[in-house]
Amino acid sequence: MPLDGRVALVTGAAGGIGGAVARELAAQGADVCLADCAAVDALAAELRATGRKVHAIRMDVTQGNAVRAGVESVVATLGRLDILVNVAGTVSFGAAQTIAEDEWDRVHAINLRGTFLCCQAAIVPMRSRRYGRIVNIGSILGKNGGNARPWIDPSEQERAANVAYGTSKAGVHALTFYLAKELARDGITVNAVAPGPVASAMTADFPERLRALIPAGRMGDAAEVAKACAFLAQESSAFITGEILDVNGGMWMD
């Protein structure tokens, strides 16, 4: 299997995409650490039943000390850290005029600061082995200025992610570029997967008029995002770094 013998840390493992990523990495042979603020006991049991080693931890990605302790526990428990997939994130809705400062800070703390802190903590064990695969979850909204079309229908903005979310994900893209260059000589690749709308509880209220604009004719599936992450996590992807891989059914092409 492509990831046999590798150890992966997946943040946001309690969510739909995070859980799908953990399942895919395990299916490809990796032992996995599941990290989230929420409980991941059921997922941990599911993956252990497949024969994989699983380490489950509670971790707040916005707190540097907690992140560093979490990474140290991965190495102590599973012996190494080869792969980091940063899925932990949050969304925000509404118009720019009404976003509270606290809401702006909350979104950026989780989506951007949290991603950076996890990357920063992972550098040490990866650099020591001169090998690593970091995959960040970006978004189409970090590229396209948002899915909503308020000049056509102002109500779309209330049901689609807003500028706080989009700028936090654009920051994740920029972070990916910088780290890819800085860590390339250490055998560490840094890439991102930028999903379009993915069917989940979070997107249950996604406007039907926007859904109809997806060229593929449907919402994405978390498993499709997971397979893209797993591809970038493989040893065979060593010459791919600083890439933002779009998984959006044709909504945005670059």
Catalytic residues: 165
Distance CA 122, CA 129 (A): 11
Q: Which residue has the tokens 């903005």?
A: 157
Q: In the chain, what is the straight-line distance between the N-terminal and C-terminal CA atoms, in Å? A: 32
Burial class (CB in 10 A: 0-12, 13-18, 19+), 42: exposed
Q: Which residue has the tokens 């499709």?
A: 224
Distance CA 119, CA 137 (A): 12
